[in-house]
């Protein structure tokens, strides 16, 4: 199964729906706080291998974003991505 990266920049009032079973994350590129509301349509979305989806996505998730999210140096991110390419 191909792990494809979908990106969307949201503005105030925008809505985005994550397809069932899709690994997802949010990143605030703005300078102010962001507020998000979420709802779940299923308690059992299936099985997704997170490492494959995060470090093997196409296109790759920004190393800057992943380094900040996992609180590691970008060199670690590049090493992990190499394992899944």
Which residue positions form the known binding site for Mn(2+)? 24
Q: Which residues sit in the known binding site?
A: 24
- Give the C-alpha distances (Å, rounded to integers) separating 85 from 68, 70, 71: 21, 19, 22
Measure the CA–CA gap between 76 and 74, rounded to whole angstroms: 5
Q: Which residues, 6+ apart, have CB-to-CB distance to 70 below 8 Å? A: 76, 77
């Amino acid at each position: 199964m191909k792990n494809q990266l979908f990106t969307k920049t949201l503005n105030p009032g925008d809505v985005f729906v994550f397809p069932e079973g899709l690994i997802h994350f949010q990143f605030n590129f703005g300078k102010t706080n962001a507020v998000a509301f979420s709802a779940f349509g299923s308690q059992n979305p299936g099985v997704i291998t997170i490492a494959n989806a995060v470090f093997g996505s196409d296109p790759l998730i920004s190393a800057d974003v992943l380094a900040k999210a996992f609180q590691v140096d970008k060199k670690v991110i590049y090493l992990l991505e190499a394992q899944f390419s």
